[in-house]
Amino acid sequence: MSQLIEPVARLIESFSRLPGIGPKTAQRLTYHLLRAPDTEARALAAALVSVRDDVVFCERCFDISTGPLCPICADPMRDDARLCIVEEPLDVLALERTRAFKGRYHVLHGAISPVDGIGPERLHIRELLERVAERHGAGEPYEEVVIATNPTLEGEATAMYIAERVGDQVGSVSRIARGIPVGGDLEYADEVTLVRALQGRHRLDGASDRCCTSSTRRCSASSSPRSPWSWA
């Protein structure tokens, strides 16, 4: 049985380490590059090196950036009174595509997960608390902190942890609504999703009837029973 030559085996192994890439996909990617024009392969290599050399994390919000501050933090037209908390930089990209949020962001780079040994100290939660405390101490507290972590056990635990610690220093803490997706059918939705959809309902006459609005002091995450995953 023939053995893979060392450069090919090393590239396959490198691809296999990427999330979502299995051995078969790694092999296909490797052999695609072997057949690709020299310019394409070198352009990919240059892009990989550039990402490592030129991309850093914003000193303020920890989104990806090419300088000390990302474009959003450096934009004087953004709403300084509102802060949206997300798990990953890709979440910022998704929210920005909607053009619905005009405030600032804070990227945690993960979520609290005791099962995986990930506590608050491994995320950018300390820096978040410092940002909130700094504005509160300056007499300009955030009017609203929007927690946009994922609707998972880890995301919920993270939302509860943050809400409990910033609620007294900001105007309000809100949680993004969750429920039935556009085009979805009620009969296929699970009970938790249906409950959240009902809790996040709104009136068609324009008046708000949601369980958590910007005028509430704390979001439902902070008023729910304490999570078994809560961290001291």
pLDDT digits (tens, 9 = 90+) for 42-65: 999 999 999 999 999 999 999 999
pLDDT digits (tens, 9 = 90+) for 216-231: 444 444 444 444 344 4
Which residue is associated with the tokens 């105007």? Answer: 171
Confidence of residue 157 (pLDDT cuts 50, 70, 90): very high
pLDDT digits (tens, 9 = 90+) for 193-204: 888 888 777 777
Q: What is the rounded average pLDDT for all residues in the chain?
A: 86
pLDDT exceeding 70 applies to what percent of the chain? 87
Residue ranges and CATH numbers for the domains of the chain are 6-54 (1.10.8.420), 64-177+212-223 (3.40.1360.10)
| CA 95 vs CA 92, 148, 198: distances in Å | 5, 9, 23
Give the separation between CA 70 and CA 12, rounded to whole angstroms: 34
CA distance from start to end of the chain: 57
pLDDT digits (tens, 9 = 90+) for 102-150: 999 999 999 999 999 999 999 999 999 999 999 999 999 999 999 999 9
Report whether 221 contacts 160 (CB < 8 A): yes
